[in-house]
A and B are shown apart, each in its own frame.
Chain A
């Protein structure tokens, strides 16, 4: 089997889901696609079932918060891997902070269960169709999503910590 390159991979996904792919780049040799959040499950199902690509392994799911991008504050980042072709792929889907909904991929990957719960726990992203979207690492009573950027690690009102030279 010929080796699958990033270019080939991008072209193959583009053929099927050209209109759902918003941008693509290749930082540090890993193809990174920004995709339409509504299409996450469809694209991953295609990647999973396609006989050539065979992305059968979900390496990682995590979130990130970008308060500056209006309407696309929260991001879900998926790392996929095709062990047979030895290639990795990163998918990113941005969702607004007001209605952070994205389809769950637990039907494809059992491993997504806890990883999506973790992402919900820290960023409040609602994975629709998840069998048990509860907090996992934090206490159940917590009423905020601690990894969002509006929660600083240190108390911002303390003056003894202010340091104008080193940007604290």
Chain B
């Protein structure tokens, strides 16, 4: 654990214990963050330390709060997609799809199977990218930089696929309300097939680098554990919950976007410690590959968007050459499409757990109220309980294995 001395403000507190004064305990207050290379994001932890052991901790969040929920109350529906990109920016496409599906649920439109399969492929690629970053960073924090640099190449290849699909890499704004903005071209299929062919070999090397590594065991087994009961009480979802042994996955519990068509397993852990969280994510990467293969093999023919001209942005050629398309384009861009009144909650399985969208619509051009259920924000409050009594270096590894993303934490 390499804590930069300059980053740490140390204060020494003295605590008297016992009347004789011979049992003299000194606690140190350690300020970890707000900007610290080992926290991988902007959040502050004020740790009370007894030597190298964490006695207590207090968190401060909100450093990159951007008031998305307020901004969303002024924006037409299609413009909110770009806000969702910036929640969990490691797997932006999942948030995009979650948002599209929320609006589609509100306006009650069925999406063609082809678009659903395309979305599944994109979401699973995003999940692989998200889990790769998380697991590679756990490697870095335990002293294995090689795996990180190796796996980042593959994240780049996933981003190449996104670039080919939608033109963007990180904050993708992928898909549209009502379907996808365009069909996959041949290059997309070529890149996906190359990825499906080459990635498993490379990933297998990464697996053998860490999964049975003695040093990695020592650092991660029984580090930052949490029981299933406490995890549920703390609102854990996603890999962090499954590491405790609860097989809850939104993709299976409330299938969306044709997930019921695919055959895949839900990897679960046993102890809810850092190693189990790591292994659950590793397992999910293999399952995601399985899902993508099935989706590519069984890709249905047909249209990639639903017949909802009042919400689905028409292709640009039509806008320039077709009167009706121009009118719809104009109405959508100016936010003049009528939406029904109502309230809707839709959840998708994000990289870190259940990403939920709760929306109240009063029939206006923007949502009356929009709330993002951000899994990071909810499970991060369990962090003090998980690191209590452990060493500082374990706290760092626990933090990376929780995969707290600052953008999702603060919204």
Contact = CB atoms under 8 A, between A and B. Distances in A.
Q: Which of B234, B336, B410 lies at the interface centre, i.e. has the most chain A CB atoms within 10 A of its CB?
A: B234
B365 interface: yes
B356 A136 contact: no
Interface stretch (A8-16, A39-47, A56-64, A94-102): A56-64
Contacts of A147: 69-70
A88 B235 contact: no
25 contacts: A27-B343, A27-B344, A28-B106, A28-B344, A59-B354, A60-B371, A60-B373, A62-B371, A64-B368, A77-B371, A83-B246, A90-B343, A90-B345, A111-B233, A111-B234, A114-B381, A115-B378, A137-B62, A137-B65, A137-B410, A138-B62, A146-B70, A147-B70, A166-B334, A166-B335
B290 interface: no
B71 A153 contact: yes
Interface in B23-75: 61-62, 65, 67, 69-71, 73-74
Interface residues of B, number: 45
A143 interface: no
Given A27-B343, A30-B345, A167-B365, A60 B358 contact: yes
Contacts of B246: 83
Secondary structure at chain B's binding surface: helix, strand, loop or mixed? mixed
B117 interface: no
A164 interface: no
B69 A136 contact: no
Contacts of B78: none
Contacts of B106: 28
B316 interface: no
A59 B375 CA distance: 9
A113 interface: yes
B235 A153 contact: no
B57 to A, nearest CB: 14
A130 interface: no
B62 A109 contact: no
Interface string B339-382: 00011110100000010101010000100110101000111111
B254 interface: yes
A136 B374 CA distance: 15
Q: Which of A88, A122, A138, A153 lies at the interface centre, i.e. has the most chain B CB atoms within 10 A of its CB?
A: A153
A154 interface: yes
A167 B358 CA distance: 24
Nearest to B233: A110
Nearest to A48: B233
A68 to B, nearest CB: 10
A167 B69 CA distance: 20
A111 B381 contact: yes
Contacts of B368: 64
A114 B377 contact: yes
Interface string A61-80: 01011000000000001010
B271 to A, nearest CB: 19
Contacts of B69: 122, 147
B253 interface: yes
A83 B230 CA distance: 15
Sort A-B residue pairs by CB-CB distance and give the 10 closest, nearest first.
A111-B235, A137-B62, A62-B371, A64-B369, A137-B65, A60-B373, A110-B233, A153-B74, A114-B381, A110-B234
Contacts of A153: 70-71, 73-74
Nearest to B75: A153
A86 interface: yes
Contacts of A79: 345, 356, 358, 373
A90 B368 CA distance: 18
B62 A136 contact: yes
Nearest to A112: B235
A88 B62 CA distance: 29
Contacts of B65: 137-138
Interface string A113-131: 1110010001000000000
A115 B376 CA distance: 12
Interface in A1-60: 27-28, 30, 32, 56-60
B195 to A, nearest CB: 34
A137 B70 CA distance: 13
A90 B345 CA distance: 9
A109 B356 contact: no
Contact of A83 (B105, B253, B371): B253
B221 interface: no
Q: Which of B365, B369, B380, B382 lies at the interface centre, i.e. has the most chain A CB atoms within 10 A of its CB?
A: B369
Given A79-B356, A166-B335, A146 B67 contact: yes
Given A27-B344, A77-B358, A110-B382, A59 B371 contact: no
B202 interface: no
